[in-house]
Copies of this chain bind each other. A is one copy, B any other.
Protein backbone atom coordinates (compact mmCIF):
# COMPACT_ATOMS: atom_id res chain seq x y z
CA UNK A 1 0.00 0.00 0.00
CA UNK A 2 1.31 3.39 -1.01
CA UNK A 3 0.36 6.96 -0.26
CA UNK A 4 -0.16 8.77 -3.55
CA UNK A 5 -0.83 12.46 -4.11
CA UNK A 6 -2.65 13.05 -7.40
CA UNK A 7 -3.10 16.43 -9.03
CA UNK A 8 -5.76 17.04 -11.69
CA UNK A 9 -5.65 20.27 -13.71
CA UNK A 10 -8.48 22.46 -14.97
CA UNK A 11 -9.10 20.52 -18.17
CA UNK A 12 -9.33 17.24 -16.23
CA UNK A 13 -12.10 18.70 -14.01
CA UNK A 14 -13.64 20.97 -16.66
CA UNK A 15 -17.15 19.45 -16.66
CA UNK A 16 -19.47 17.46 -14.41
CA UNK A 17 -18.68 14.34 -16.44
CA UNK A 18 -14.92 14.83 -16.21
CA UNK A 19 -15.11 15.29 -12.43
CA UNK A 20 -17.03 12.01 -12.30
CA UNK A 21 -14.31 10.38 -14.41
CA UNK A 22 -11.67 11.66 -11.97
CA UNK A 23 -13.74 10.15 -9.12
CA UNK A 24 -13.70 6.78 -10.93
CA UNK A 25 -9.95 6.97 -11.43
CA UNK A 26 -9.38 7.82 -7.75
CA UNK A 27 -11.65 4.97 -6.63
CA UNK A 28 -9.65 2.60 -8.84
CA UNK A 29 -6.49 3.53 -6.92
CA UNK A 30 -8.33 3.12 -3.59
CA UNK A 31 -9.47 -0.35 -4.65
CA UNK A 32 -5.86 -1.20 -5.48
CA UNK A 33 -5.16 -0.47 -1.81
CA UNK A 34 -3.59 2.98 -1.99
CA UNK A 35 -4.20 6.00 0.23
CA UNK A 36 -5.07 8.95 -1.97
CA UNK A 37 -4.79 12.71 -1.53
CA UNK A 38 -6.19 14.60 -4.52
CA UNK A 39 -5.28 18.18 -5.45
CA UNK A 40 -7.55 19.91 -7.95
CA UNK A 41 -7.52 23.11 -9.96
CA UNK A 42 -10.50 25.28 -10.83
CA UNK A 43 -12.76 24.00 -13.61
CA UNK A 44 -11.23 25.18 -16.90
CA UNK A 45 -12.37 28.69 -17.80
CA UNK A 46 -13.44 29.54 -14.25
CA UNK A 47 -10.26 31.36 -13.22
CA UNK A 48 -10.39 33.47 -16.37
CA UNK A 49 -14.08 34.27 -15.75
CA UNK A 50 -13.25 35.48 -12.24
CA UNK A 51 -10.26 37.52 -13.39
CA UNK A 52 -12.54 39.10 -16.00
CA UNK A 53 -14.99 40.16 -13.27
CA UNK A 54 -12.10 41.59 -11.24
CA UNK A 55 -10.88 43.56 -14.24
CA UNK A 56 -14.35 45.04 -14.67
CA UNK A 57 -14.17 46.33 -11.08
CA UNK A 58 -10.65 47.71 -10.89
CA UNK A 59 -8.10 48.25 -13.64
CA UNK A 60 -5.39 46.68 -11.47
CA UNK A 61 -7.35 44.52 -9.03
CA UNK A 62 -6.24 44.69 -5.41
CA UNK A 63 -3.99 41.65 -4.85
CA UNK A 64 -5.52 40.59 -1.51
CA UNK A 65 -9.06 40.74 -2.89
CA UNK A 66 -8.02 39.03 -6.13
CA UNK A 67 -6.85 36.06 -4.04
CA UNK A 68 -10.18 36.01 -2.15
CA UNK A 69 -11.92 35.98 -5.53
CA UNK A 70 -9.97 33.46 -7.59
CA UNK A 71 -9.51 30.98 -4.73
CA UNK A 72 -13.26 30.27 -5.01
CA UNK A 73 -12.55 28.42 -8.27
CA UNK A 74 -10.71 25.54 -6.61
CA UNK A 75 -13.13 25.60 -3.66
CA UNK A 76 -15.98 24.77 -6.05
CA UNK A 77 -14.04 21.83 -7.52
CA UNK A 78 -13.09 20.23 -4.17
CA UNK A 79 -16.74 20.21 -3.06
CA UNK A 80 -17.98 18.78 -6.37
CA UNK A 81 -15.31 16.05 -6.45
CA UNK A 82 -16.14 15.00 -2.86
CA UNK A 83 -19.84 14.79 -3.81
CA UNK A 84 -18.96 12.66 -6.86
CA UNK A 85 -16.82 10.33 -4.71
CA UNK A 86 -19.55 10.02 -2.07
CA UNK A 87 -22.20 9.38 -4.73
CA UNK A 88 -20.03 6.45 -5.85
CA UNK A 89 -19.71 5.15 -2.30
CA UNK A 90 -16.22 6.46 -1.47
CA UNK A 91 -16.00 8.59 1.68
CA UNK A 92 -14.10 11.83 1.09
CA UNK A 93 -13.44 15.19 2.70
CA UNK A 94 -12.53 18.51 1.13
CA UNK A 95 -10.05 21.11 2.37
CA UNK A 96 -9.39 24.65 1.23
CA UNK A 97 -5.77 25.76 1.46
CA UNK A 98 -6.59 27.53 4.71
CA UNK A 99 -8.32 24.48 6.16
CA UNK A 100 -5.34 22.15 5.61
CA UNK A 101 -3.56 24.54 6.62
CA UNK A 102 -1.05 25.44 3.92
CA UNK A 103 0.80 28.36 5.48
CA UNK A 104 2.36 30.82 3.03
CA UNK A 105 4.05 34.19 3.17
CA UNK A 106 1.82 37.20 2.49
CA UNK A 107 2.86 37.86 -1.14
CA UNK A 108 -0.66 37.87 -2.59
CA UNK A 109 -1.03 36.29 -6.07
CA UNK A 110 2.50 34.80 -5.86
CA UNK A 111 2.79 33.45 -2.33
CA UNK A 112 5.41 30.89 -1.28
CA UNK A 113 4.53 27.90 0.88
CA UNK A 114 6.21 27.98 4.31
CA UNK A 115 4.61 25.12 6.19
CA UNK A 116 1.95 22.44 5.81
CA UNK A 117 0.02 20.88 8.68
CA UNK A 118 -0.63 17.23 7.82
CA UNK A 119 -2.65 16.31 10.94
CA UNK A 120 -6.15 16.65 9.46
CA UNK A 121 -5.22 14.85 6.26
CA UNK A 122 -3.60 11.96 8.13
CA UNK A 123 -6.64 11.56 10.38
CA UNK A 124 -8.92 11.36 7.33
CA UNK A 125 -6.67 8.89 5.52
CA UNK A 126 -6.73 6.65 8.58
CA UNK A 127 -10.53 6.69 8.43
CA UNK A 128 -10.33 5.43 4.84
CA UNK A 129 -11.31 8.77 3.35
CA UNK A 130 -9.98 10.30 0.17
CA UNK A 131 -8.64 13.76 1.01
CA UNK A 132 -9.41 16.43 -1.59
CA UNK A 133 -7.39 19.65 -1.35
CA UNK A 134 -7.83 22.91 -3.27
CA UNK A 135 -4.70 23.60 -5.30
CA UNK A 136 -3.08 26.96 -5.85
CA UNK A 137 -4.08 28.47 -2.50
CA UNK A 138 -2.96 28.91 1.07
CA UNK A 139 -3.35 31.21 4.01
CA UNK A 140 -0.93 33.64 5.66
CA UNK A 141 -0.20 34.00 9.36
CA UNK A 142 -2.99 36.57 9.72
CA UNK A 143 -5.60 34.31 8.12
CA UNK A 144 -5.64 36.10 4.75
CA UNK A 145 -6.27 33.89 1.71
CA UNK A 146 -3.24 33.74 -0.59
CA UNK A 147 -2.60 32.14 -3.98
CA UNK A 148 0.60 30.66 -5.37
CA UNK A 149 0.26 32.14 -8.84
CA UNK A 150 -0.99 30.52 -12.02
CA UNK A 151 -0.31 26.83 -12.31
CA UNK A 152 0.36 26.77 -8.59
CA UNK A 153 -1.76 23.63 -8.21
CA UNK A 154 1.26 21.58 -9.35
CA UNK A 155 3.23 23.17 -6.54
CA UNK A 156 0.47 22.35 -4.03
CA UNK A 157 0.56 18.72 -5.15
CA UNK A 158 4.33 18.42 -4.75
CA UNK A 159 4.32 20.30 -1.44
CA UNK A 160 1.62 18.02 0.00
CA UNK A 161 3.52 14.96 -1.23
CA UNK A 162 6.66 16.26 0.50
CA UNK A 163 4.79 17.04 3.74
CA UNK A 164 3.09 13.64 3.78
CA UNK A 165 6.25 11.84 2.61
CA UNK A 166 4.11 10.34 -0.15
CA UNK A 167 5.44 7.52 -2.28
CA UNK A 168 4.65 9.37 -5.47
CA UNK A 169 3.14 12.62 -6.71
CA UNK A 170 1.16 12.07 -9.91
CA UNK A 171 0.42 15.08 -12.09
CA UNK A 172 -2.51 14.34 -14.44
CA UNK A 173 -2.58 16.54 -17.49
CA UNK A 174 -3.67 16.43 -21.13
CA UNK A 175 -0.43 14.85 -22.39
CA UNK A 176 0.62 11.32 -21.54
CA UNK A 177 4.18 12.12 -20.50
CA UNK A 178 7.34 14.01 -21.31
CA UNK A 179 8.59 13.50 -24.88
CA UNK A 180 12.06 13.67 -26.40
CA UNK A 181 10.74 16.70 -28.24
CA UNK A 182 7.41 18.16 -29.39
CA UNK A 183 5.58 15.36 -31.30
CA UNK A 184 3.90 18.01 -33.45
CA UNK A 185 7.37 18.88 -34.82
CA UNK A 186 8.99 15.45 -34.88
CA UNK A 187 6.68 12.55 -35.66
CA UNK A 188 9.20 10.09 -34.27
CA UNK A 189 9.34 11.79 -30.84
CA UNK A 190 9.27 9.21 -28.04
CA UNK A 191 7.72 9.35 -24.58
CA UNK A 192 10.47 9.13 -21.96
CA UNK A 193 10.04 6.49 -19.21
CA UNK A 194 12.23 8.49 -16.86
CA UNK A 195 13.83 11.90 -16.80
CA UNK A 196 15.89 13.57 -14.08
CA UNK A 197 14.71 16.70 -12.29
CA UNK A 198 17.53 18.72 -13.81
CA UNK A 199 16.68 17.60 -17.33
CA UNK A 200 13.01 18.32 -16.69
CA UNK A 201 13.88 21.83 -15.53
CA UNK A 202 15.83 22.48 -18.70
CA UNK A 203 13.07 20.96 -20.86
CA UNK A 204 10.33 22.93 -19.06
CA UNK A 205 12.10 26.27 -19.17
CA UNK A 206 12.77 25.76 -22.85
CA UNK A 207 9.16 25.41 -23.81
CA UNK A 208 7.95 21.87 -23.12
CA UNK A 209 5.30 23.25 -20.85
CA UNK A 210 4.08 20.10 -19.16
CA UNK A 211 4.79 21.11 -15.60
CA UNK A 212 5.32 24.27 -13.59
CA UNK A 213 9.06 24.86 -13.22
CA UNK A 214 8.52 25.77 -9.60
CA UNK A 215 6.84 22.44 -8.88
CA UNK A 216 9.76 20.59 -10.45
CA UNK A 217 12.28 22.56 -8.39
CA UNK A 218 10.26 21.82 -5.28
CA UNK A 219 10.05 18.10 -6.11
CA UNK A 220 13.80 18.00 -6.71
CA UNK A 221 14.57 19.81 -3.48
CA UNK A 222 12.39 17.50 -1.36
CA UNK A 223 13.12 14.39 -3.45
CA UNK A 224 9.46 13.71 -4.23
CA UNK A 225 9.12 11.18 -7.07
CA UNK A 226 6.99 12.96 -9.63
CA UNK A 227 5.06 11.29 -12.45
CA UNK A 228 3.37 13.04 -15.38
CA UNK A 229 0.37 11.13 -16.77
CA UNK A 230 -2.67 11.68 -18.96
CA UNK A 231 -6.11 12.18 -17.37
CA UNK A 232 -7.78 10.80 -20.44
CA UNK A 233 -5.61 7.85 -21.48
CA UNK A 234 -4.19 5.03 -19.39
CA UNK A 235 -0.43 4.58 -19.36
CA UNK A 236 2.65 4.84 -17.14
CA UNK A 237 3.51 8.44 -18.12
CA UNK A 238 6.98 9.75 -17.37
CA UNK A 239 8.67 9.46 -13.99
CA UNK A 240 10.76 12.46 -12.98
CA UNK A 241 13.40 11.17 -10.63
CA UNK A 242 16.41 12.12 -8.59
CA UNK A 243 18.04 8.88 -9.66
CA UNK A 244 20.53 9.38 -12.46
CA UNK A 245 21.47 5.68 -12.57
CA UNK A 246 19.20 4.51 -15.30
CA UNK A 247 19.55 0.76 -15.49
CA UNK A 248 19.61 0.67 -19.27
CA UNK A 249 23.30 0.23 -20.24
CA UNK A 250 22.81 2.18 -23.39
CA UNK A 251 21.99 5.31 -21.47
CA UNK A 252 21.43 8.12 -23.94
CA UNK A 253 23.78 11.07 -23.83
CA UNK A 254 20.96 13.43 -24.74
CA UNK A 255 17.43 12.95 -23.39
CA UNK A 256 15.56 15.47 -25.45
CA UNK A 257 15.50 18.37 -27.85
CA UNK A 258 13.77 21.50 -26.58
CA UNK A 259 13.00 24.69 -28.41
CA UNK A 260 11.50 28.10 -27.83
CA UNK A 261 9.80 30.26 -30.44
CA UNK A 262 9.09 33.13 -28.05
CA UNK A 263 12.47 34.83 -28.00
CA UNK A 264 13.87 37.80 -29.88
CA UNK A 265 17.48 38.93 -30.20
CA UNK A 266 18.90 42.36 -29.45
CA UNK A 267 22.44 43.53 -30.19
CA UNK A 268 24.31 46.67 -29.24
CA UNK A 269 27.42 47.10 -31.40
CA UNK A 270 30.58 49.19 -31.27
CA UNK A 271 30.52 49.95 -27.58
CA UNK A 272 33.88 51.56 -26.60
CA UNK A 273 35.58 49.21 -24.13
CA UNK A 274 35.54 50.22 -20.48
CA UNK A 275 35.27 48.29 -17.19
CA UNK A 276 31.76 47.13 -16.33
CA UNK A 277 30.35 47.86 -19.75
CA UNK A 278 28.10 44.75 -19.77
CA UNK A 279 26.57 45.76 -16.48
CA UNK A 280 26.00 49.33 -17.72
CA UNK A 281 24.10 47.86 -20.66
CA UNK A 282 22.07 45.21 -18.83
CA UNK A 283 21.24 47.06 -15.59
CA UNK A 284 18.65 49.39 -17.23
CA UNK A 285 17.04 46.33 -18.90
CA UNK A 286 16.67 44.67 -15.50
CA UNK A 287 15.30 47.87 -14.00
CA UNK A 288 12.64 47.90 -16.71
CA UNK A 289 11.62 44.40 -15.47
CA UNK A 290 12.60 42.75 -18.75
CA UNK A 291 13.91 39.22 -18.38
CA UNK A 292 17.02 38.34 -20.35
CA UNK A 293 17.86 34.78 -21.41
CA UNK A 294 20.99 34.16 -23.52
CA UNK A 295 23.82 36.73 -23.22
CA UNK A 296 26.94 36.73 -25.42
CA UNK A 297 29.70 39.31 -25.51
CA UNK A 298 32.45 39.68 -28.17
CA UNK A 299 35.44 41.94 -28.47
CA UNK A 300 35.67 43.28 -32.02
CA UNK A 301 38.92 43.90 -33.91
CA UNK A 302 38.65 47.67 -33.36
CA UNK A 303 38.68 47.12 -29.58
CA UNK A 304 34.99 47.92 -29.25
CA UNK A 305 32.47 45.50 -27.74
CA UNK A 306 29.42 43.82 -29.26
CA UNK A 307 26.86 42.52 -26.78
CA UNK A 308 23.92 40.38 -27.84
CA UNK A 309 21.10 38.99 -25.72
CA UNK A 310 17.64 37.53 -26.07
CA UNK A 311 14.36 38.65 -24.47
CA UNK A 312 10.73 37.57 -24.78
CA UNK A 313 9.36 38.60 -28.15
CA UNK A 314 6.58 40.64 -26.52
CA UNK A 315 9.22 42.80 -24.86
CA UNK A 316 11.47 43.41 -27.87
CA UNK A 317 10.18 46.93 -28.57
CA UNK A 318 10.35 47.97 -24.92
CA UNK A 319 13.87 46.52 -24.56
CA UNK A 320 15.00 48.17 -27.78
CA UNK A 321 13.85 51.58 -26.56
CA UNK A 322 15.78 51.12 -23.31
CA UNK A 323 18.85 49.93 -25.20
CA UNK A 324 18.81 52.88 -27.62
CA UNK A 325 18.95 55.30 -24.75
CA UNK A 326 21.84 53.30 -23.23
CA UNK A 327 23.62 53.28 -26.62
CA UNK A 328 23.55 57.07 -26.73
CA UNK A 329 25.04 57.36 -23.23
CA UNK A 330 27.79 54.83 -24.01
CA UNK A 331 28.50 56.26 -27.45
CA UNK A 332 27.82 52.89 -29.09
CA UNK A 333 27.57 52.49 -32.85
CA UNK A 334 24.16 50.87 -33.25
CA UNK A 335 21.31 48.81 -31.79
CA UNK A 336 19.79 45.98 -33.84
CA UNK A 337 16.71 43.91 -32.99
CA UNK A 338 15.63 40.64 -34.60
CA UNK A 339 12.39 38.81 -33.84
CA UNK A 340 12.82 36.04 -36.44
CA UNK A 341 15.04 33.80 -34.33
CA UNK A 342 14.43 30.69 -32.23
CA UNK A 343 16.36 28.81 -29.60
CA UNK A 344 17.01 25.07 -29.98
CA UNK A 345 18.62 23.07 -27.17
CA UNK A 346 19.86 19.56 -26.54
CA UNK A 347 19.38 18.46 -22.93
CA UNK A 348 20.73 15.50 -21.02
CA UNK A 349 22.49 14.63 -17.79
CA UNK A 350 24.49 12.17 -19.87
CA UNK A 351 26.43 14.94 -21.55
CA UNK A 352 28.23 15.70 -18.27
CA UNK A 353 30.43 12.69 -18.76
CA UNK A 354 30.48 12.61 -22.56
CA UNK A 355 32.65 14.85 -24.65
CA UNK A 356 31.65 15.47 -28.20
CA UNK A 357 28.01 16.41 -27.70
CA UNK A 358 28.66 19.96 -28.91
CA UNK A 359 30.50 18.82 -32.02
CA UNK A 360 27.78 16.27 -32.86
CA UNK A 361 25.23 19.06 -32.51
CA UNK A 362 27.12 21.62 -34.59
CA UNK A 363 27.99 19.05 -37.28
CA UNK A 364 24.36 17.98 -37.59
CA UNK A 365 23.24 21.60 -38.06
CA UNK A 366 26.07 22.37 -40.48
CA UNK A 367 25.14 19.35 -42.59
CA UNK A 368 21.74 21.02 -43.13
CA UNK A 369 23.36 24.41 -43.81
CA UNK A 370 21.81 25.91 -40.70
CA UNK A 371 23.78 28.92 -39.53
CA UNK A 372 24.33 29.25 -35.77
CA UNK A 373 23.99 32.85 -34.58
CA UNK A 374 24.68 32.37 -30.86
CA UNK A 375 25.76 29.50 -28.63
CA UNK A 376 25.28 29.11 -24.90
CA UNK A 377 25.99 26.10 -22.74
CA UNK A 378 25.32 24.76 -19.27
CA UNK A 379 26.37 21.50 -17.64
CA UNK A 380 23.48 19.50 -19.09
CA UNK A 381 22.33 21.67 -22.00
CA UNK A 382 23.66 23.28 -25.17
CA UNK A 383 21.50 25.94 -26.81
CA UNK A 384 21.85 27.66 -30.14
CA UNK A 385 20.04 30.63 -31.63
CA UNK A 386 19.15 30.08 -35.29
CA UNK A 387 16.91 31.62 -37.92
CA UNK A 388 13.23 30.87 -37.21
CA UNK A 389 12.56 29.22 -40.57
CA UNK A 390 15.02 26.41 -39.74
CA UNK A 391 13.30 25.42 -36.47
CA UNK A 392 11.58 22.20 -37.59
CA UNK A 393 14.53 21.10 -39.70
CA UNK A 394 16.97 21.69 -36.84
CA UNK A 395 14.87 19.85 -34.25
CA UNK A 396 14.37 16.86 -36.58
CA UNK A 397 18.02 16.54 -37.56
CA UNK A 398 19.15 16.80 -33.92
CA UNK A 399 16.52 14.25 -32.84
CA UNK A 400 18.02 11.82 -35.33
CA UNK A 401 21.64 12.77 -34.67
CA UNK A 402 21.26 11.87 -30.98
CA UNK A 403 19.44 8.59 -31.71
CA UNK A 404 16.16 9.71 -30.16
CA UNK A 405 13.88 8.63 -33.01
CA UNK A 406 11.32 5.95 -32.15
CA UNK A 407 12.06 2.66 -33.86
* Chain A interface (Cβ < 8 Å from any Cβ of B): 16, 19-20, 50, 53-54, 56-59, 61-62, 64-66, 68-69, 71-72, 75-76, 78-80, 82-84, 86-87, 93-94, 96, 98-99, 143-145
Chain B residue at minimum C-beta to C-beta distance from A84: B57
Minimum CB–CB distance from A60 to chain B (whole Å) comes to: 9
> How long is the Cα–Cα vector from A72 to B50 in the complex, in angstroms?
12
Instruction: Report chain B residues within 8 Å CB of A82.
Output: 62, 65, 68
- Asked if A57 contacts B94 (CB within 8 A), the reply is no
Instruction: Report chain B residues within 8 Å CB of A93.
Output: 64
Given A61-B83, A62-B83, A83-B62, are A68 and B94 also a contact pair (CB < 8 Å)?
Answer: yes
The number of times this chain is found in the oligomer is: 2
- Asked if B79 contacts A68 (CB within 8 A), the reply is yes
- Asked if A19 contacts B57 (CB within 8 A), the reply is yes
> How long is the Cα–Cα vector from A145 to B82 in the complex, in angstroms?
15
Instruction: Name 16 extra pairs, CB < 8 A, besides A19-B57, A62-B86.
Output: A16-B56, A16-B57, A53-B80, A54-B80, A57-B83, A57-B84, A57-B87, A58-B83, A61-B83, A62-B83, A65-B78, A65-B86, A66-B83, A68-B79, A68-B94, A68-B96
- Asked if B143 contacts A99 (CB within 8 A), the reply is yes
Instruction: Report chain B residues within 8 Å CB of A62.
Output: 82-83, 86
- Asked if B57 contacts A80 (CB within 8 A), the reply is yes
Instruction: Report chain B residues within 8 Å CB of A143.
Output: 99
- Asked if B76 contacts A94 (CB within 8 A), the reply is no
- Asked if B87 contacts A65 (CB within 8 A), the reply is no
Instruction: Report chain B residues within 8 Å CB of A65.
Output: 78-80, 82-83, 86, 94
Chain B residue at minimum C-beta to C-beta distance from A69: B79
- Asked if B68 contacts A78 (CB within 8 A), the reply is yes
Q: What are 5 inter-chain pairs, A to B, with CB distance below 8 A? A: A62-B83, A65-B80, A69-B75, A69-B76, A75-B75
Tell which of A61, A65, A71, A96 has the most Cβ of chain B within 10 Å.
A65
- Asked if A59 contacts B87 (CB within 8 A), the reply is yes
Given A68-B79, A78-B68, are A53 and B86 also a contact pair (CB < 8 Å)?
Answer: no
> How long is the Cα–Cα vector from A366 to B72 in the complex, in angstroms?
59
